[in-house]
Amino acid sequence: MRADARKNRDHVLAVAGAAIAEHGVDVSLRDIARRADVGLATLLRHFPTREALLEALLHTSFDELTAKADALETSGSPEDALVSWLRDCVGWTTEYRGVTVLMTAAIEDTESALHASCVTLRAAGARLLTRAQAVGAARGDIDGTDLFALIAALAWLGDQPSLASRADHLFDVVASAILTGATASGGGAEGSP
């Protein structure tokens, strides 16, 4: 890719990230193009679909969360690794309002630009869950799909203005329910009503 084309692409991604963080994943592509001071045709040449734009925008974060899961598999206690990764994953998904809806749909849609990244992310979480289950630290009646659904549910809470203040407390409740006889670590709003 030519240097000027890469610069345009990177600029569009930066603007798209800010627009999605502010307005959610349903922000109009035309609005993103206008904010980036490029034509809609230019935006569509780089990113032919909304999902292609999101995949490019989110790819680095998907890779980072997957790499973190890989590192956590061999360090620390299985329950701490699982809760730490779960907290990071939920925290990341709340940065882009509405992204969990697209991620959940992309898991089932092999044609989605987000499919491969979402499947890889779900598998990374499943490995941490399996590791915790192997030592009896996590419930045995949930799997990676359930964990992915819980991430989506917890992220949804963070997207709801009337519930956002409860999100940390409810994260701790859910994390404690996943673990068997262990207290969820990670510093939520303990004792919150």
Domain ranges for the chain: 1-48, 50-178
State mean pLDDT over 121-135.
95
What is the C-alpha to C-alpha distance for residues 33 and 48, in angstroms, rounded to an integer?
13
Element (H or E) spanning 172, and its range? helix 167-178
**Which two tokens mark 17?**
């990230």
Angle at alpha carbon of residue 183, lines to 182 and 186, rounded to 5°: 130
The answer as to CATH 1.10.10.60 being correct for domain 1-48 is: yes
What is the C-alpha separation between 189 and 15, in angstroms, rounded? 33
| pTM of the shown model | 0.79
The matching CATH number, chosen from 1.10.357.10, 3.40.50.12240, 1.10.760.10, 2.102.10.10, for 50-178 is 1.10.357.10
Average pLDDT, the chain: 87
Within 13 Å, how many C-alpha atoms sit on residue 67's CB side? 6
Q: What percent of the chain has pLDDT above 90? A: 52
8-66 pLDDT tens trace? 888 999 999 899 888 888 899 999 999 999 999 989 988 998 888 988 888 888 889 99
Residue 138 pairs in a beta bridge with 179
Kindly report the three-state secondary structure assignment for every residue of 146-166: HHHHHHHHHHHHHHCCCCHHH
